[in-house]
Chains A and B, each alone.
Chain A
Amino acid sequence: MRISLTVNGKQYSHDVEPRLSLAHYLREVLNLTGTHIGCDTSSCGACTITLNGDAVKSCTLLAVQADGCEIVTIEGMANGAELHPIQESFKENHGLQCGFCTPGMVMTASDILKNNPNPTEEEIRHGLEGNFCRCTGYHNIVKSIQQAAEKINQ
C-alpha cells in the first residue's frame, strides 16, 4: 500500500506491506534508528514518537495507519547540534545511562509537558508509567523533566 507522511518535517512516500509496523517503517525504511523496539506488547515505551502532536507507541500502529500524519521522532528534537531543552535537562541531570529507553522517555516527556507545563512529581511519574527504564530507577528522569519544565517555562 502507498503511504505519504511527514517525519521530522520531511515528506515521505512509500509502498509498504500492510502488516509493517510504524516502528519498523521508521527504523528499516527511513533508517531512523533512534526509535527503539524493546518489547512486543506495547508496554516498554522505547518506541514512543509523536503523531500529530501526541505521544504514541509506534509499535502499536501499522505504517499504513500513519498515512497522512505528521510524525516527530527523537531525531527531530534537536536543532542541529543544539539540544532541545528536554534533551539538555536529561544530560544535566544524568537522566540516562545505557540510552536505550532514552528516545522514548524524551518523546513522552515532551507530551507530558505539552499537556501540563508545570507538572508535580506525581504527575510526571504517572505520565512515565508507560515507559520502562531498567538503569536509572527513574529518579533522574523525573528530575530531568522537572528541570525541563522550568527551562521551557522561562
Chain B
Amino acid sequence: MGSYIGKSVKRREDARFLKGEGKYTDDIKLPNMTHMAFVRSPYASANVLSVDTSEAEKAEGVVAVFTAEDGCGQYGVPCGWQVNFKNGETMREPQHPLLAKDKIRHVGEPVAIVIAETQALARDAAELVAVEYEELPAVTNPKEAMKDGAPKVHDQFPDNMAFDWCIGNDRAEVEAALEKAHHVTELEFINQRLAPNAIEPRSYIADYDVNGDKWTLYTSTQNPHLIRLLMCAFVLGIPEHKVRVVSYDVGGGFGSKIYHYTEEALVTWVSREIARPVKWTADRSEAFLMDAHGRDHVVKSKMGFDKEGHIVAHLTDEYCSMGAYLSTFAPAIPTYLHGTLFQGLYKTPLIHLNVVAPFTHTVPVDAYRGAGRPEATYLIERLVSKGAKEMGMDPAEIRFKNFIEPFDGVNQPGYQTQVALQYDSGNYAPALEKALDAIGYKDFRKEQAEARKNGKLLGLGISTWIEGCGIAPSAVVGALGARAGLYEVGHVRVQPTGKVSVYTGTHSHGQGHETAFAQFVADRLGIPMDDVEIIHGDTEQVAFGMGTYGSRSLSVGGSAIVKSIEKVLEKGAKIAAHKLEASVEDLEYAGGKWTVKGTDKSISFGDVSLTAYVPHDYPQGLEPGLDFSSFYDPANFTFPFGAHLAIVEVDQDTGKVDLKRFVTCDDVGNIINPMIVDGQIHGGVVQGIGQALLEEVVFDESGQMITGSYMDYAMPRADDLPMIETHNTVTPCPHNPLGVKGAGEAGAIGSTPAVVNAVVDALWHLGVRDIQMPLTPQRVWKAMQQ
C-alpha cells in the first residue's frame, strides 16, 4: 500500500478504449434523436443576398430548417479575454453570430441548419437550401490585413485591427541597446497557421426534456462547466441550473475543444424548438473549416549580443491573426501567453514585443497545444542559435553563458522577468548538459565533418525552452484581461466503507487522470488505488471546474484535491482521537491509519469513515460525514523548462529532411507517473515536429482553404519519425503541494526550433541562414540552391 507516486502504473482507462467500448459523444444514440446538418458558405467574404429553404423543408425526413431569421442566440458567442490597446483603448469585439445573416467572414461560416431523421437525409436536404451570395474580396494574411485598402472583415472596424499591444521594456531603450550591440541577428518569417486535428471530430447531442424544462448536452469538450456558463449566461440566456453538460470520453483536444463553438449552442437551441434530441458530428472537412486554428504570426525579430555572446536586447514586432471573430481565449494567445515568455531561459536585460492583432477572413485562431509559448520559443531559440553561429560561437555554449542562475523559489526568490511574470523555480544548465551528453554532442561535430566529406548533410539543432503553465492565479489573469477566474475545484467524498470518490473540475481527453490522480490520492490517504475512483466530465456530478488546458490539470486540479484530502484527514483525526481516547496532537497518520504516537493503539481510515457516517459514538459538536470540496487558486503559474536536441540528415538532391534522432531532457517538476509524462512528451514533440516539417493551413487569394482535408494537410505519420529519447531533471514547483509543473505542452513548445535549427546547421556551410516552415523538400532544396 502507498508509494504509487513516481511509478509507471498502467492506466485503468485503457481497457474500455482497447476493447472499442469508450463512450465518445458520437457513440451515443438517444431515442427519437434527430440529426443536424449545416449549409455553409463556400466563400470567405460575401454578402448573403437571399436564403431560400422552401425545397429543403419539403424534402424527405426533414423535421425543421432554421436560418438567422429564426432568432437563435441573438447575442452571439462571447470572447473570454479582453486585451486592450497599448494606448488604453478597449479591444474591438465584433459579434460572433451562431448563423450568418447578411455577411460571410470565412469559408464554412454557417447560413442555415437542417434537422432531419437521419444524418444522410439532413445532408441531402441541406443541399437543397438555395443561398444567393455576392462574393467580396478577402484577406487572409494578418500583415496584409493591416495595409491601407485591405478588404474589411467588419465594417465597423475599417482598419481590421482588434488591438495593438506591447509588453516589456521601453521600445526606445531596446532600440538604443540594439544600435550599440556588438552583433545583431535578425529574422523575418511566418509562424504558420496550423489545424489542431484531434482525431475525434467535434460532436454534440442536445436533449431537451419538455416536462422538466431542462437540457442535457453531451459534448466533446475539454471544459464542460465553462461551456455551460458561456452558453447559458451569454449565448442562449438559459438558467445555468437547467443544463447538464456531459463530456464522457473525448478523442483528443490539443486546445481545439476548449472553446464554446456555435454548433454547441445551436443543437441546444434547436432541441427545445423541436422538443427532440439533436445530434451533430463534424466531418473532417468541417473540422478543418470550423475548429479554431493555431499560430499564424507574421514575425520580425532582432536580437543583440555583446562581444562575449551575452544577449543585450531583443525586439520583436508581430502581426497575429485573430481570424474572423474573437474565439474564447484568442486575444490572450499572442499576448499574455506569448509575450510573457520572451525572457526565455536567459538574462536578457531589455525586451520589447509589439503585437498587432488583425481580423482576417479566416476561421478564428485560438490556443493550440502550447498556445503562444511555442511561437515565443521558436523565435527566441532561432535567434539565439543564428546569432551564435554568425558570431562563430557554439550554440550550446552561448546558451550556458546566458542562462539565468539556478533558483529554487524557496531559499532563493523567484526570477522576475522583464515581461511581467515571475518564474517559480529553475535550474537550466543541468537539463541542457544531460541532453547534450545523451546525444553525444562532443563527438557530433567530427561526425558531421566526416559525413560532409562523404556527401551527407548532417545537422544538430538545440532548443532550450520554458513555458508558463498551470494556468493560473485568478488575480493575475484577471489583471491580464481574463473574464473568469482560473482556479480549480476538487471534491473528495469518502464513502462510509472508506472507499473514495474524487470529483475533479479538470477533464481528461487522453491525459490519464483516472490513473495519475488516483495515484496521489491513494498515497496521500495511505489506501490502495483500487479504493479510489476519479470522476470528471459531468456538471451534474462535479460541482464546478475550469477544465483542462495550459498543462493545468495536476498542478491546479490536483492541488484542489490535495486541499480536500487535508480537510478529510483533519476531520478524520478528530474522529480518530475520540475513538482512541487520545488528543489530536498525539496522533500521527500513516499507512492508512491514525496511531497514538509511541503506542500500538490505532484506528484505520475505513473505521473512521464508517464512524463518520454511523456516528453513534462520536465527538460532540462534530458534523457527521466525511465529504469535502475545495477551490484552489494557485499562487503563481508554474514554469517547466527543458532542452530538446534534433539530428537531421538533409538529402542533397531532393532537400528531404530525415529526422535521425530526437533527444529531450525536460523538467516538469515532480513526476507522479513517468510513463504518462513520457507519453505526453512524445506526443507534444511530434506535434512540434509536424509544424517544423509538414503542417500548414494554406488559403488561396479568395480566402479558400486549399488544405481542407488529409489529402492536402500533411499530418505526421509513423514512418516520418524516429523514437523520441526522453530524459528528465526534477526541479519541484515551490508553490503547489505536489511540486508539479505540468507536461502537456512541453513537447510541442521545445521541439519545433530544435528541428529547424538542425536543418539550418546542416546547410550553414552552403550559406543557408533560415528556411520558412514547414521545411518541405521543395523549400529546403530551393534554399540550398540560393
> A83 at interface (Cβ–Cβ under 8 A)?
yes
The answer on a CB contact under 8 Å between B285 and A91 is no
Interface footprint category on A = 35 or more
Chain B residue nearest to A93 (CB atoms) is: B675
B-contact bits for A84-113, CB 8 A (1 contact / 0 none): 000100111010111111110010000000
> A5 at interface (Cβ–Cβ under 8 A)?
no
- A134 and B14 alpha carbons, distance in the complex (Å): 17
A/B interface sample: 23 pairs, CB < 8 A: A19-B120, A20-B120, A27-B27, A33-B26, A33-B27, A35-B20, A36-B199, A38-B201, A40-B285, A74-B19, A83-B18, A91-B15, A94-B679, A96-B14, A132-B717, A134-B197, A135-B683, A136-B683, A137-B686, A137-B747, A138-B717, A139-B723, A142-B723
B-contact bits for A47-86, CB 8 A (1 contact / 0 none): 0000000000000000000000000011101100001000
Q: Which residues of A contact B284 (CB under 8 A)?
A: 38-41, 44
Interface footprint category on B = 35 or more
> A117 at interface (Cβ–Cβ under 8 A)?
no
Q: Which residues of A contact B723 (CB under 8 A)?
A: 121, 139, 142
* A132-B715 CB under 8 A given contacts A94-B679, A97-B510: yes
- A73 and B252 alpha carbons, distance in the complex (Å): 22
B-contact bits for A106-129, CB 8 A (1 contact / 0 none): 100000000000000110111011
> A7 at interface (Cβ–Cβ under 8 A)?
no
> A133 at interface (Cβ–Cβ under 8 A)?
yes
> B434 at interface (Cβ–Cβ under 8 A)?
no
The answer on a CB contact under 8 Å between B11 and A98 is no
Q: Which residues of A contact B10 (CB under 8 A)?
A: 91-92, 94
> A150 at interface (Cβ–Cβ under 8 A)?
no
- A34 and B250 alpha carbons, distance in the complex (Å): 14
Q: Which residues of A contact B197 (CB under 8 A)?
A: 132, 134
> B509 at interface (Cβ–Cβ under 8 A)?
yes
Q: Which residues of A contact B709 (CB under 8 A)?
A: 39-41, 43
Known: A73-B20, A75-B19. 7 other contacts (CB 8 A): A35-B20, A41-B710, A41-B711, A98-B252, A99-B13, A135-B683, A137-B721
> B22 at interface (Cβ–Cβ under 8 A)?
yes
Q: Which residues of A contact B249 (CB under 8 A)?
A: 98-99
- A115 and B283 alpha carbons, distance in the complex (Å): 32
The answer on a CB contact under 8 Å between A75 and B511 is no
> A140 at interface (Cβ–Cβ under 8 A)?
yes
Interface of A is mostly: loop
Q: Which residues of B contact A75 (CB under 8 A)?
A: 19-21
The answer on a CB contact under 8 Å between B21 and A34 is yes
A-B contact count (CB 8 A): 181
Chain B residue nearest to A19 (CB atoms) is: B120
* A135-B510 CB under 8 A given contacts A38-B199, A96-B18: yes
The answer on a CB contact under 8 Å between A137 and B724 is yes
* A132-B710 CB under 8 A given contacts A98-B252, A98-B510: yes
Q: Which residues of B contact A128 (CB under 8 A)?
A: 717-719
A-contact bits for B668-689, CB 8 A (1 contact / 0 none): 0000000110110011111100
> A149 at interface (Cβ–Cβ under 8 A)?
no
> A3 at interface (Cβ–Cβ under 8 A)?
no
The answer on a CB contact under 8 Å between B252 and A131 is no
- A96 and B715 alpha carbons, distance in the complex (Å): 18
Residue ranges of B at the interface with A (Cβ–Cβ < 8 Å): 8, 10-11, 13-22, 24, 26-27, 29, 120, 197-201, 249-254, 283-285, 509-512, 675-676, 678-679, 682-687, 709-711, 715-719, 721, 723-724, 747
> A22 at interface (Cβ–Cβ under 8 A)?
no
Q: Which residues of B contact A46 (CB under 8 A)?
A: 199
The answer on a CB contact under 8 Å between B718 and A129 is yes
* A138-B721 CB under 8 A given contacts A91-B11, A100-B200: yes
Q: Which residues of B contact A96 (CB under 8 A)?
A: 14, 17-18
The answer on a CB contact under 8 Å between B24 and A100 is yes
Q: Which residues of B contact A134 (CB under 8 A)?
A: 197-199, 252, 254, 683, 687, 715
The answer on a CB contact under 8 Å between A83 and B15 is yes
CB distance from A148 to the nearest CB of B (A): 12
- A44 and B15 alpha carbons, distance in the complex (Å): 22
- A73 and B20 alpha carbons, distance in the complex (Å): 9
- A34 and B21 alpha carbons, distance in the complex (Å): 6
- A17 and B61 alpha carbons, distance in the complex (Å): 15
- A35 and B16 alpha carbons, distance in the complex (Å): 13
- A90 and B686 alpha carbons, distance in the complex (Å): 19
- A82 and B507 alpha carbons, distance in the complex (Å): 29
CB distance from A132 to the nearest CB of B (A): 5
The answer on a CB contact under 8 Å between B252 and A74 is no
The answer on a CB contact under 8 Å between B718 and A78 is no
- A43 and B685 alpha carbons, distance in the complex (Å): 22
The answer on a CB contact under 8 Å between B20 and A103 is yes
- A12 and B403 alpha carbons, distance in the complex (Å): 67
Q: Which residues of A contact B199 (CB under 8 A)?
A: 36, 38, 44, 46, 98, 100-101, 132-134
CB distance from B697 to the nearest CB of A (A): 16
The residue that A138 contacts in the complex, of B11, B15, B200, B718, with Cβ under 8 A, is B718
Best-buried of A20, A34, A97, A126 by chain B (most CB within 10 Å) = A97
